[in-house]
Amino acid sequence: MTLLAVVALVLVGMYGGVSLSPGRPTDGQTQTADIPGGLQRAEPLVGFIVVIPADLPADWTPSSFSFTEKSGAAGAPPAVRGGWLTAEGRFITLIQSSGAVSDVQNAELGAVNPETGTEQVGGATWSVTAGRRTEVAWIRTVGDVVYLITGSASPDDFRILAGAAAAAT
């Protein structure tokens, strides 16, 4: 049994499942994603025009992309999600959906939260509400598309992404 355990640990270690860092943890690599490519490829699957935010800071790392098709899971509205890691190591995500605002909030935030204020960015008004955990969410509707920004990023980073999304619409 001991021999089997040793062999299993050696195999896990060889294939990157375990790392040893005596003294302190080390920073790992940040996962990256092709957000513009993902948004372009997802557009025909979600059934609405998807915007691709441009001119985002060079030190933001595109770290996640996902989508829910228009014939998607159990009542979830069609949506595309692109997420970035900001220069300060905080997360920010832009979600685009053709669902009703309340359906998008339920699907993406877990609840329909009351508006706590508004933000003006580039001539566009965004409603501010609570997100998941201690995060904030900004919501704006243009035509039939709901834009939702959420994450742990700073208000300045929210303004940057809101401006980029508004400029692309």
- Enter the pTM of the model: 0.80
Q: What angle do CA 65, 68, 72 make, to 5 degrees?
A: 160
- The per-residue pLDDT for 169 is 79
Question: Distance of CA 99 to CAs 38, 50, 78, 148, 151, Å?
Answer: 20, 13, 7, 12, 20
- The per-residue pLDDT for 33 is 86
Q: Which two tokens stand for residue 114?
A: 């009351």
- The per-residue pLDDT for 94 is 97
Q: Which two tokens stand for residue 100?
A: 């009703």
Question: Distance of CA 134 to CAs 31, 46, 123, 129, Å?
Answer: 23, 29, 27, 11
Region for residue 151 given its phi and psi (left: phi exceeds 0; alpha: psi -120 to 50; beta: otherwise): left
Q: How far apart are CA 81 and CA 67, in angstroms?
A: 6
pLDDT truncated to tens, each residue of the chain (169 aa)? 777 666 666 655 556 555 555 555 556 666 788 999 999 999 999 999 999 998 899 999 999 999 988 765 567 899 999 999 999 999 999 999 999 999 999 999 999 999 999 999 988 999 999 988 889 999 999 999 999 999 999 999 999 999 999 888 7
Q: How far apart are CA 129 and CA 126, in angstroms?
A: 10
- The per-residue pLDDT for 2 is 76
All domains of the chain in start order, with CATH: 35-168 (3.30.200.100)
